[in-house]
């Protein structure tokens, strides 16, 4: 029997284990309140659902162009022009099978085995794990409260040796923090000057709260057309399972992406492409902004309620739908965040994501709480936590 490959021996995505345990708890007890899922709790917007029915009736739904149908690429380009005032057209857009597919294709197209790519810690684990599976050397920058959990030019300057790429996310998973527009511009210029590819993960754009001290959202292409911008209909657009993402790509990377994507995926899901065109219209956006208003209310509940429970070390949560919290002071001797979250689920039915996915050094003392669900569930989860935790 053939053994597994070396490249497959990467870390698992631990939050999926939480989802599995929560599903079993729901089956046996029917009482789960999940603050673990990194996805909206709402369906796709009504115009998207109507477009899906039209596509089923009217379209062949066979293969499409590898980079996606022209109406969708044009809609995505228009979205970026309207939101950021950048010069973008359909030829700049590469549609992919989710943003996960975008990252895999891009890493293959831009980096060779042994190339050094820099990511932030804490950060989304699939950056690190996918790069590692492809043979890249991953350097993690320790980004804590002193830099709002985001990388800086000063950190890059302190690195030993050249780098091939830098991955940033704003708003970020798991912290929800955002990069100041001036700092994102400085990172883009640094990468251009040092021959490094800036990859800007902007899949949570549209979910920002505009609170005092929070940066404004900016797009990497406002500074550099040599950067790659990653987008997705998953988060703001409430379409995670439709598996549709996109990239804004400089011209030089389009031929290798075409060669790779045509061989590896042929094209993104066709029905999702036809449906997603209507996600960018005014009716859909009004519905989606209503979800963001609910996220804002849920965010306020957690930012007020967690400190009352003695959980006071929280990332700023500028955008996305997460609160990232340090619970080290609540851990009994010999327990880490993974075991603490498992015990919390077993004893209360509340599901949280342990920080080990997001931080390879300090994650054993942190958790991520998603507030993408209903306000009633967030409020009820806080009450169960209040009853379960020791009095602060």
Which pLDDT value is given to residue 5?
93
Residues comprising the chain, all counted: 392
Which pLDDT value is given to residue 391?
77
Question: Domains in the chain, ordered, with CATH?
Answer: 4-41+282-386 (3.40.640.10), 46-278 (3.40.640.10)
Describe the chain by its helix, strand, coil percentages, rounded to 5. Answer: 45, 15, 40
**Strand, helix or coil for residue 141:** strand
pTM of the complete model beyond 0.85: yes
CA proximity to 199, closest of 178, 169, 228? 228
Which pLDDT value is given to residue 352?
97
Which pLDDT value is given to residue 392?
66
Distance of CA 305 to the CA centre of its chain: 25
For the stretch 217-220, contacts whose Cβ atoms lie closer than 8 Å and that sit 24 or more positions apart, written own/partner, are 217/170, 217/171, 217/178, 217/319, 218/84, 218/170, 218/179, 218/181, 218/184, 218/185, 219/80, 219/83, 219/84, 219/86, 220/168, 220/184, 220/188
Which pLDDT value is given to residue 129?
96
Which pLDDT value is given to residue 263?
97
| Sequence-distant (≥ 6) Cβ neighbours of residue 135 within 8 angstroms | 7, 112, 113, 114
Q: Encode the chain (392 residues) as per-residue pLDDT tens digits.
A: 888 999 999 888 888 888 899 999 999 999 999 999 899 999 999 999 999 999 999 999 999 999 999 999 999 999 999 999 999 999 999 999 999 999 999 999 999 999 999 999 999 999 999 999 999 999 999 999 999 999 999 999 999 999 999 999 999 999 999 999 999 999 999 999 999 999 999 999 999 998 766 677 899 999 999 999 999 999 999 999 999 999 999 999 999 999 999 999 999 999 999 999 999 999 999 999 999 999 999 999 999 999 999 999 999 999 999 999 999 999 999 999 999 999 999 999 999 999 999 999 999 999 999 999 999 999 999 999 999 998 76
Is there a contact between 273 and 72 (Cβ–Cβ < 8 Å)? yes
Which pLDDT value is given to residue 292?
97
Which residue, chain included where needed, has tokens 């005014």? 282
Which pLDDT value is given to residue 11?
87
Q: Report the alpha-carbon distance of residue 54 to residue 71 in Å, rounded.
A: 15
């Amino acid at each position: 029997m053939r053994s597994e490959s070396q490249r497959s021996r990467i870390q698992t995505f631990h939050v999926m284990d939480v989802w599995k345990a929560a599903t079993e708890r729901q089956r046996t007890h029917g009482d789960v309140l999940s603050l673990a899922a990194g996805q909206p709790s709402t369906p796709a917007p009504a115009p998207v659902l109507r477009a899906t029915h039209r596509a089923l009736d009217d379209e062949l739904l066979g293969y499409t162009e590898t980079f996606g149908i022209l109406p969708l690429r044009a809609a995505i380009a228009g979205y970026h022009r309207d939101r950021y005032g950048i010069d973008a057209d359909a030829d700049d857009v590469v549609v992919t099978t989710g943003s996960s597919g975008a990252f895999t294709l891009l890493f293959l197209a831009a980096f060779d085995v042994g190339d050094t790519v820099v990511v932030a810690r804490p950060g989304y684990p699939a950056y690190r794990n996918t790069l590692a599976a492809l043979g890249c050397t991953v350097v993690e920058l320790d980004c804590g409260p002193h830099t709002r959990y985001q990388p800086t030019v000063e950190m890059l300057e302190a690195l030993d040796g050249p780098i091939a790429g830098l991955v940033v996310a704003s708003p970020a998973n798991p912290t929800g923090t955002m990069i100041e527009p001036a700092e994102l511009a400085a990172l883009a210029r640094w990468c251009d000057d040092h021959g490094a590819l800036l990859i800007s993960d902007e899949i949570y754009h549209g979910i920002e709260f505009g609170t005092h001290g929070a940066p404004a959202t900016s797009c990497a292409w406002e500074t550099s057309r040599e950067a790659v911008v990653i987008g997705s209909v998953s988060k703001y657009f409430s379409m995670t399972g439709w598996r549709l993402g996109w990239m804004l790509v400089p011209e030089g990377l389009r031929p290798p992406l075409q060669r790779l994507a045509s061989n590896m995926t042929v094209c993104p899901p066709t029905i999702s492409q036809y449906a997603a065109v209507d996600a960018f219209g005014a009716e859909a956006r009004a519905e989606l902004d209503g979800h963001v208003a609910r996220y804002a209310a849920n965010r306020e509940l957690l930012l007020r309620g967690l400190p009352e429970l003695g959980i006071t070390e929280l990332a700023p949560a500028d955008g996305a739908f997460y609160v990232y919290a340090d619970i080290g002071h609540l851990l009994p001797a010999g327990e880490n965040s993974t075991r603490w979250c498992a015990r919390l689920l077993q004893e209360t039915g509340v599901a949280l994501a342990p920080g080990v996915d997001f931080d390879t050094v300090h994650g054993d003392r942190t958790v991520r709480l998603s507030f993408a669900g209903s306000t009633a569930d967030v409020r009820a989860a806080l009450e169960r936590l209040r009853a379960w935790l020791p009095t602060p």
